[in-house]
A and B are shown apart, each in its own frame.
Chain A
Amino acid sequence: EDQVTQSPEALRLQEGESSSLNCSYTVSGLRGLFWYRQDPGKGPEFLFTLYSAGEEKEKERLKATLTKKESFLHITAPKPEDSATYLCAVQSSNTGKLIFGQGTTLQVKP
């Protein structure tokens, strides 16, 4: 069964304190792995797509990496405006469906 598990569920960081979010997955053929950011009261906003193990993508303080079993979203020197829920999703090449994880809620305190 295709499945995505994110950890931790919640993360509190001080401003400037770097950390990583984990996304473990099992999927019958990976078409792509996606990271989204979701702010309260809003829909998910696309951040990155990763297609193959070893691939990395960066955007400002965020860097996403991918292995055959998991992905990490590294946050370097976070700021309070990085506070949000980060969602990971995988797309099965068999079904084409997006399967989302439960998300990690990040709070960055000044």
Chain B
Amino acid sequence: DAGVIQSPRHEVTEMGQEVTLRCKPISGHNSLFWYRQTMMRGLELLIYFNNNVPIDDSGMPEDRFSAKMPNASFSTLKIQPSEPRDSAVYFCASSLGGLGTFGSGTRLTVV
């Protein structure tokens, strides 16, 4: 099993640009989580899906952030427009009823 696959691993973009982060969960897992990690705030849950349906998006910081899960094998986290304070490592995790296996993350830098 390849684990949770995130792309890209690194993204550098200019303020105001749209950024899309991608996640392929582990096959068979029915829950998917998006987290953000920063030095200041640590690891924070942004949104999670169960059976492709968003269950709790209360952690999404602003309307600039949106997440979709069109099918069981793919999810995206979009930031539009991006701002420097969005710079962080974004993790995706998937699970089958448990806590989740994390991907290696996408390091986003907004300049």
Contact = CB atoms under 8 A, between A and B. Distances in A.
Contacts, number: 35
A43 B42 contact: no
Interface residues on chain A, size class: 10 to 19
Contact of B43 (A44, A45, A49, A96): A44
Interface string A24-62: 000000000010000001111110010000000000000
A96 B102 CA distance: 18
B51 to A, nearest CB: 15
A98 to B, nearest CB: 6
A45 B104 contact: no
Interface string B40-77: 00111100000000001000000000000000000000
Given A44-B91, A101-B42, 16 more contacts: A34-B99, A41-B104, A41-B105, A42-B102, A42-B104, A43-B4, A43-B102, A43-B105, A45-B102, A46-B99, A87-B42, A89-B43, A97-B45, A98-B45, A100-B43, A102-B42
